Structure 1
């Protein structure tokens, strides 16, 4: 979600240290077999990671003989790599499906340490350098976790409407899962049927359409639509998705640039947590946008301008 041209100083800053141009397939689902991350000082955890599906969006006018180090965009709960594709991007971007979402594999473990390890593994496998991480909600905490644990993999960070704190997840998400389970049980064949079932659980048509974007028709001949996301796994994970794996900013900090964008009508980044953000991310900037939790879709131009300004070189 960057609007910089490849000739600006900001582009060179984002891509400093790059030696070659990225060449990845434009869309990948499960690109490599799963493997275990060996425990060590530069890895997140000694558990199995999953290969992340992604879409690659390259600039229309790439810079010859230069690598454009990518912006990695991570969605929130129930989202996918299909989200936010309409925002004009000029730099190379990778829209990822986090584990248990979109076309990425399902795995019983679903927490921020595991999701960050998946992204770290992806960055290493593809030899990416100086990446910019942009994450919304669940994706924001995933990006923060990775930046704090393995700062060498990250050039800078944009966290959208979430903070590095333990907080109770909104009850809306549990309600959504209840409605989505009802849809799976009903074996609907049309989205209009699914929407009618979901309406008592969520009045907003926009949010219902967002959730129903996870429906698909599994292979096998049946015309019934099912949710692509594993509802049973996400339901079990809800109690912990409000948590943040780091508790003590005296032990770990990310000292590179970080931008926090919050919706002023959202409750996820209250004023009282701002000092803690500054302790974990001492070079952070804060931008307020007059909207709710869904900042990028509600106010896409304000979001884009905030990121552009953040990436521009400072005087």
Structure 2
């Protein structure tokens, strides 16, 4: 179970509340650009998910516990936004705690069990395999990770999780547990619950996480869902097309005001 409250960053002092949940290997600050853009009209909360950032580590990966921990950060009915792993947790939070979720935005993920997680397993194997004692600087870390993760953008994203720890370095995520429970991350819990609030389902046009074949699963749990596909974006829609993402969220949130 999750021990202790999740770490959050608050932006804005007026307007309706909006809570953001990041994906695997992320941190709340991944939503900072969009959060700041919304903070003039909304009270924004950026959540570090369990086993990530400055939030507590847990003994296992469990989406129900993750959803309950997210719901505990919500003091009044709020718009909930989640990407990837955070999107699955946000969906389950809406299903388990509908009184706390006024509306829901799910970014490039579906309420299904994905067939493969080899790419993410490879990332974690590479991160766990790094000899942190031999790392003197961030360029050293980048060079050490490059053979296993040749894409510089993905490598930079992963290395945001590497933090100075005295004279050495440490990983912020609970990599051992995340690696062990990757099948749980890949899945989605069985539930008969239905969330009746409005749902915006955003897909990256170049990503495979939202497909027509997943529509029935989504609509059976979220009957008021509307799907939008963002051109020029893969899985990390909010990083690849932040202006488009901000505009979509502004319009979605305005519907509530």
Give yes or no for TM over 0.5: yes
Taking structure 2 as the reference length, the TM-score comes to 0.92
Secondary structure of the structure 1 residue equivalent to 2:51: coil
Distance across 1 between alignment mates of 2:131 and 2:16? 40
Corresponding residue number in structure 1 for 2:8: 54
Of 58, 77, 94, the residue aligned with 1:107 is 58
Of 188, 191, 205, the residue aligned with 2:152 is 205
Corresponding residue number in structure 2 for 1:285: 226
Distance across 1 between alignment mates of 2:129 and 2:186? 25
Deviation per residue, 1:82-102 (Å, 9 max, x gap): 112122123110001011100
CA RMSD, aligned part only?
Answer: 1.6
Of 135, 148, 159, the residue aligned with 1:188 is 135
Change (3 A) 1:139 1:191: same
Give 1 or 2: higher strand fraction.
2
Give 1 or 2: higher helix fraction.
2
Deviation per residue, 1:138-188 (Å, 9 max, x gap): 000000001011111110000000011111343111111111112244541
Alignment gaps of 5+ in structure 1? 1-46, 63-67
Corresponding residue number in structure 2 for 1:160: 107
In terms of mean alpha carbon deviation, does 238-247 or 76-85 score higher?
238-247
Distance across 2 between alignment mates of 1:169 and 1:305? 32
Taking structure 1 as the reference length, the TM-score comes to 0.76
Distance across 1 between alignment mates of 2:116 and 2:182? 7
Count matched residues: 251
Change (3 A) 1:48 1:160: closer
8 Å CA contact retained: 2:133, 2:169: no
Of 154, 158, 170, the residue aligned with 2:117 is 170
Corresponding residue number in structure 1 for 2:82: 135
Change (3 A) 1:49 1:168: farther
Change (3 A) 1:184 1:116: farther
Corresponding residue number in structure 1 for 2:188: 244
In terms of mean alpha carbon deviation, does 225-234 or 178-187 score higher?
178-187
Secondary structure of the structure 1 residue equivalent to 2:28: coil
Secondary structure of the structure 2 residue equivalent to 1:201: coil
Deviation per residue, 1:82-135 (Å, 9 max, x gap): 112122123110001011100011111212111111112232xxxx11111000
- 1:199-278 counterparts in 2 under 5 A? 199-219=146-166, 222=167, 224-247=168-191, 251-278=192-219
Alignment gaps of 5+ in structure 2? none
Distance across 2 between alignment mates of 1:226 and 1:270? 37
Question: Deviation of residue 271 (structure 1)?
Answer: 1.1
Corresponding residue number in structure 1 for 2:249: 307
Distance across 2 between alignment mates of 1:161 and 1:202? 22
